[in-house]
């Protein structure tokens, strides 16, 4: 094989991966699948697109070998093809936050408007948890919590928080987390907690980042 042919073939395959990721809906789907397995209908509901569109996006991701399927009876579930897929998505996200000022500006404006600007890093939260200085709540749906969560976290899905808020101690800082920095569940939770008089913050990232940093996790 000629050197130019070799290079052309390799770069074309890499370009196919980048092309598969070059869509906002597909990027959101990859972030969702980092939480666990989902059916097409669940993906469509979570990303606010039609089932047909979700299926088309998933086929593109599957052809690029970024996702794979698993059958459970008559239902087909999608999942990331491997942890390296999430790491690639995270690297793209972090590059965007670092190099594109508009992303950081939008994030800051959103959190300022929701009174949820104050955040903790994973390292800061891990230290506080060791010293038993904080209560951690996972505000994702139970399905995602069961797939894996921060060790010691309580699962209170954001839509149930107003009903269960009295279960939380007011003499401790409460830290909420969800799917990652673009997920708004934790922002909703922090806003509600602060309205009720809690000292509340959000984790600046989410469960997948905590996991790949090899911090303590639990799975149901």
* Residues classed as catalytic: 178
Distance CA 16, CA 122 (A): 33
Tokens matching residue 185 = 């569940």
In the numeric block, the tokens 């090899």 are attached to: 214
User: Three-class SS of residue 203?
Assistant: strand
- 197 Cβ partners below 8 Å, 6+ apart? 170
User: Per DSSP, what are the bridge partners of residue 163?
Assistant: none
Instruction: Report the 10 Å Cβ neighbour count for 201.
Output: 24
C-beta of residue 186 within 8 angstroms of C-beta of residue 177: yes
Nearest of 121, 128, 146, 168 to residue 217 by alpha carbon = 146
Residue 43, token pair as written in the block: 């993906």
* Residues in CB range of 168: below 8 A, 6 or more apart: 135, 137, 174, 193, 198
């Amino acid at each position: 094989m000629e050197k130019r042919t070799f290079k052309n073939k390799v770069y074309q395959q890499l370009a196919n991966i980048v092309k598969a990721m070059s869509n906002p809906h597909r990027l959101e789907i990859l972030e969702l699948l980092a939480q666990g397995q989902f059916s097409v209908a669940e993906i469509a509901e979570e990303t606010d697109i039609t089932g047909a569109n979700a299926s088309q996006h998933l086929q593109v991701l599957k052809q690029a070998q970024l996702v794979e399927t698993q059958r459970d009876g008559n239902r087909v579930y999608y999942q990331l093809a491997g942890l390296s897929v999430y790491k690639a998505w995270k690297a793209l996200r972090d590059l965007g936050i670092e190099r594109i000022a508009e992303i950081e500006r939008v994030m800051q404006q959103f959190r300022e408007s929701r009174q949820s600007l104050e955040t903790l890093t994973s390292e800061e939260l891990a230290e506080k948890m060791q010293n038993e200085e904080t209560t951690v709540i996972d505000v994702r749906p139970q399905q995602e919590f069961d797939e894996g969560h921060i060790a010691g976290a309580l699962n209170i899905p954001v839509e149930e928080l107003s009903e269960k808020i009295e279960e939380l101690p007011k003499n401790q800082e409460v830290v909420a987390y969800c799917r990652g920095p673009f997920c708004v569940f934790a922002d909703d939770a922090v806003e509600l907690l602060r309205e009720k008089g809690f000292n509340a913050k959000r984790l600046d990232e989410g469960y997948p980042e905590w996991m790949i940093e090899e911090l303590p996790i639990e799975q149901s």
